[in-house]
Each structure stands twice: as C-alpha cells, then as structure tokens.
Amino acid sequence: MKRTRRTLSSEFKAQVALEAIKEIKTVSEIAQQYQIHPNQVSRWKKEFLANAGKVFDSGNEEKEQISLLKKEKEDLVQQIGQLTADNNWLKKKLL
C-alpha cells in the first residue's frame, strides 16, 4: 500500500514554528505532537526567523510594484495610440 504525501498549510507551519520559537516544549515533543519529523520543525523555525523581517516590508514592495505597473500601462497605451495613428495613415495612403 502506497502512502500519499501530506500537504500542510502555511498557517500550520507558522503555528509549529512559533511554538518551536517559544521553546516551551522541545523540538521532539512538538514533532511528536504534530506527527512530523523533528528536522522539519527545525527547518520551519529557521525559515520563519529568516523571513520574519519581510512582514513589515510588504507594503513598500506593493507600492513599488503598483507604480511600475502604472508606468508600464502608460507606455503600452502610448504605443497603442502611436500604432493606431500609423495604421490610419497607412490606410489613407493606400486609398
């Protein structure tokens, strides 16, 4: 019988990582409680701590991305206008 692989949500991983950070229980106890391998608990804890600073930077990144998309939209609208004008000019020349 083949076992299927479990997919765990981000919220679950964060909960386990936070519990490991609190250090109330050992990594082995946490792993046994959630039925995962102790190495996985340590890996999630390390990844959580490495990416914790990004939580506060998300607003700035979104604003930058929005401004880049607006600029790209303006450029594309300008190109469409130029191509439409060129197309109309070519139609008049052919007639």
Beta carbons within 10 angstroms of residue 45's beta carbon = 20
**59 close to 69: Cβ distance less than 8 angstroms:** no
User: What percent helix, strand, coil does the chain show, rounded to 5?
Assistant: 80, 0, 20
Give the CB-side neighbour count of residue 81, counting CA atoms within 13 A.
6
What would the two tokens of residue 26 be?
Answer: 């050992």
Instruction: Summarize the confidence of residues 76-81 as an average pLDDT.
Output: 96
Tell me how far apart the alpha carbons of residues 20 and 31 are, in angstroms, rounded to a whole number.
9
Q: What is the pLDDT of residues 43-78, one digit of tens each?
A: 999 999 998 888 777 677 778 888 999 999 999 999
> Rounded distance, CA 95 to CA 89, Å?
10
Structure tokens at 36: 């995962």
- Mean pLDDT within 72-89: 95
